[in-house]
Chain A
Amino acid sequence: MAKLARFLTGRLIKAAITVLAVLVMNFVLIRLAPGDPASVMAGEAGAADPKFVAQLREQFGLDRPLHEQLWIYMRGILQLDLGYSARQQRPVSALIAERLPGTLLLTGAAFVIALGCGVALGALAATRVGTWADSAITALALLAYATPIFWVGLMLVLLFSVELNWLPSLGMETVGAKLSGLAHLCDIGAHLVLPAITLGLFFMAIYARLTRAEMLEVADQDFVKTARAKGVREGRIVRVHVLRNALLPVVTFAGIQAGQLIGGSILVETVFAWPGIGRLAFEALLQREYNTLLGVFAVTAVMVVLLNLLTDLMYAVVDPRIEVAA
């Protein structure tokens, strides 16, 4: 237990340093993009004069020297204050807080779909290697792996929303329906299906291929033969001996996916008009909304660091031979 505590403390300190470094780098990097929030707003307004732009720069705090802006920002961060969006006139933390649940729901669902279906399909293919089922799963995985995600999204919408009219294609809930309780949850669920599948499909393919390949490799090893010689039932061999040993690379990949899912849902959020932080970040980037963008980066950086930590802990759970060490 002491070992675990030491491991966690060490990792958390490193994590804090990583996040701060990420923020400073981001702060500098986004200033390299041409234009600033004031010039963007002047462009959007269709009319501007120097007074207008000067007012905006002052309001955004852009009239101060860069190092001073960085200092003000980092001082805020250390007090857990993500700053203020002058464009939207609201605190960045409020902007992120209202978008984060949407993203977590979407990416969480996509993660479960990808991991659950991916491992199941991979195991199915491995246990029926060479049969039509194996070929079908391999072909499906290849297709899902190779197709651009926005295209998959649009095709799913065309089929399930436009042609069959089974599922809604836009937003997170039926606007104006004023549902509550179970009906509300079902409504959100129905809106979730298409974007979650679209987002999960690519990683599902990876998991399926990874699981299949690993399981076939493990199945040839001596301890599996021993188990079989001992007369262990085939189902138990697959579950306990083969699958569990094949899962390590899947856990590694799941760790990577979990990190990517937070930010990687921009396309899906855009196609399905899903109100998440991916879109918030993308729009903030186009609008040079520095504080909002940095705020999203801060939140995602923290998430990625925590998920990596969780992945490392998971190794020990999946394979007890692996020990945690700082």
Chain B
Amino acid sequence: MARFRGFAVVLVAVGCALGATAATAQTPKRGGTLNTIVQPEPPLIVPGLNNQGPTWIVSPKIYQGLLRYSSDLKPMPNLAKSWTISPDGKTYTFKLQENVKWHDGAPFTADDVVFSIMKWHIELSPRSRQIFLNITKMTAPDPLTVVIELEKPFEPLIMMFDETSAAMIPKHIYDGTDFKTNPANQHPIGTGPFKFDQWVRGSYIHLVRNDAYWKPGQPYLDDIYYRVIPDSASRALALETGQVQLTQAGDLEPFDVPRFAAMPNLTVETKGWEMYSPLSWLDLNLRDKPLDDKRFRQALMYALDRNFIHDKIFFGLGKVAAGPIADATRFHDASIKPYPYDPKKALALLDEMGLKPDGQDVRSNLKMLVLPYGEVWTRLAEYCKQALGQVGIAVTLESTDAGAWSSRIGNWDYQTSFNFLYQYGDPSLGVARTYVSNNIKKITFTNTMGYKNPEVDALFDKAAYEPVAAERQKLFSQVQKLLYEDVPVVWLMQLEFPTIYDKRLHDVIISGTGPNDDFGAVYFTE
């Protein structure tokens, strides 16, 4: 907690923590019901069994990880009160908090940690599995100590212990059962500040205060309702009328945000996504001509006015992306500047390639699969069609729904589309997967573009297992420059998801996982 306070003071000094400023000066008050939104309704809220965005909004209040992360991505204690990493980078030792109990009263011990990581997440979580397979041995020498051993050092491992990567799962409930059909999945049990109470499908999920929570005094709220409101205009109305006091993630469309920013009773906060730093791009199938030509891809970069996209489509939310690593992610190279908007240069590149305009002024045709995740992506696709049309690239938009989109991307059955991916704090965890050739797979969120560059592969591989952070920085700077030049995808925006909340609510965003954190510290004032 002391660590967080120190961090908040820094923020205030910088002058960018609008909501937290007042909050940190007060003593938290007990009581109150928080009404907020979960959108879309997840099928399950057990980490690992379901890994959708909305699951990560609700489940971290119930389940916790060993660590939390500040907004500058420094690890902070959570269920582990301290940790040490051996000088050779191969042994991690975690000391656990004492007197932590599961919601059913059973004690939380080191055995639960070993079970959660070595059995649960390796069996179920597609993303965490890749990372945790680096672990050669994990042991619990005593009930409050966990030791992880690696074959070779893997520096980013320390970023993998928050609730969205490695939530702690109760061994006494799941071990030896079929994880997927265990009846406990309908009644989640964790160690977090809130307990699962009731889920009325289609209406709400109700969490209540965990009176036996291990952090003294917390949580301050009595209960939380996550309401299911499927229509985005209705969600905006719910916030406007005070029926909910908090919206997060993709609850509201960007074009609604300026309206709420102007309301005196609401705070709009864009911090709290540093851990994820969602980066969006125009995805290109590099197997198709002329997308296989670097000059054509650079022409796409020059032809799109990404400042316009930032100002007019995302309404000022987020930042224009320069390259593959978002600036909140570790090892971002700030010397890389976004490609400028320069349609003349785009035309020159197309000329150089020999793509001359035909009678209709068309040099090339492209099909663009619209991302079916809300109005803003449709508008973005429409803008791209316009802008590319101006340099003689005729775009045909293809509409689809979420199921067809992910199936077509997974089958490489697209020419261009949009996508955005979480970076999970470290390029080895959330960036490399898009560009390394051994991840060219027939499945979404892999290197579906089919990008192959042996130099890039070698650099990402070396950087992942390089134990010294400064050395990793050098390698990642090199790979960023290579990718910037090569343009395997057209980076568009570092997305920002606004968290909008009632001014009576405090300490909502206090870490790099923001609304995906546990909300134990959140409190209401009158």
Contacts and interface: CB of A to CB of B under 8 A. Distances in A.
Interface of A: 33-36, 39-53, 59, 85, 87-90, 95, 98-99, 102, 154, 157-158, 161-162, 165, 168-172, 175-176, 269-273, 275-276, 279-280, 283, 286-288
Residue from B43, B186, B240, B442 whose CB has the most chain A CB atoms within 10 Å: B43
Contact of A89 (B129, B185, B241, B433): B185
Given A45-B52, A175-B225, A279 B230 contact: yes
19 contacts: A34-B404, A34-B408, A36-B407, A40-B407, A41-B52, A45-B52, A46-B53, A47-B445, A49-B126, A49-B129, A89-B43, A89-B180, A89-B181, A170-B238, A272-B234, A275-B200, A279-B202, A286-B401, A287-B43
Interface in B383-418: 400-410
B318 interface: no
Interface stretch (B33-41, B252-260, B329-337, B506-514): B33-41
A283 B231 CA distance: 12
B233 interface: yes
A33 B238 contact: no
Contact of A157 (B230, B234, B400): B234
B404 A35 contact: yes
Contact of A275 (B180, B202, B225): B202
Interface residues of B, number: 58
Contact of A162 (B127, B241, B401, B444): B241
B134 interface: no
Contact of A273 (B52, B206, B230): B230
A55 to B, nearest CB: 8
B229 A39 contact: no
Given A170-B227, A275-B201, A286 B126 contact: no
Scoring A51, A85, A275 by chain B CB atoms within 10 A of each residue's CB, the highest score goes to A275
A288 B422 CA distance: 25
A213 to B, nearest CB: 36
Given A162-B241, A169-B241, A286-B403, A95 B201 contact: yes
B202 A280 contact: yes
B121 to A, nearest CB: 12
A85 B185 CA distance: 14
Which 9 pairs show the lowest CB-CB distances between chains A and B? A43-B406, A275-B202, A35-B407, A47-B127, A35-B403, A52-B126, A45-B51, A34-B404, A39-B407
A158 B126 CA distance: 44
A21 to B, nearest CB: 26
Contact of A270 (B127, B225, B230): B230
B52 A44 contact: yes
Nearest to A40: B403
Contact of A43 (B180, B201, B241, B444): B444
A85 B229 CA distance: 22
Nearest to B421: A46
A25 B410 CA distance: 28
A275 B51 contact: no
Interface in B173-189: 180-181, 185-186
Contacts, number: 173
Contact of A48 (B202, B231, B400, B443): B443
Max chain B C-beta neighbours (<10 A), residue from A34, A53, A99, A270: A34
B410 A176 contact: no
B126 A45 contact: yes
A109 B405 CA distance: 38
A270 B231 contact: yes
Contacts of A87: 43
Contacts of B41: 283
Contacts of B408: 34-35
A172 B228 CA distance: 12
B404 A42 contact: no
Contacts of A89: 43-44, 180-181, 185-186
A49 B185 contact: no
A43 B227 CA distance: 23
B28 to A, nearest CB: 21
B97 to A, nearest CB: 29
B525 interface: no
A171 B403 contact: no
B130 interface: yes
B339 interface: no
Interface in B229-273: 229-231, 233-234, 237-238, 240-241, 243
B403 A273 contact: no
A168 B237 CA distance: 11
A36 B180 contact: no
Contact of B233 (A95, A154, A276): A154
Nearest to B276: A46
B204 interface: yes
B404 A169 contact: no
A87 B55 CA distance: 13
Contacts of A48: 126, 443-446
Contact of A42 (B227, B238, B406, B433): B406
Contacts of A275: 200-203, 228
B231 to A, nearest CB: 5
Given A50-B441, A176-B35, 11 more contacts: A34-B400, A34-B403, A35-B404, A39-B403, A39-B407, A40-B402, A42-B445, A172-B203, A270-B230, A273-B230, A283-B41
Given A34-B404, A169-B234, A275-B200, A49 B443 contact: yes
Contacts of B33: 176
B405 A43 contact: yes
A50 B445 CA distance: 11
Contacts of B422: 46
Contacts of B233: 154, 271
A175 B227 contact: yes
Nearest to A168: B243
Residue in A39, A98, A99 with the greatest tally of chain B CB atoms within 10 Å: A39
A33 B404 contact: yes
Given A88-B44, A279-B202, A271 B403 contact: no
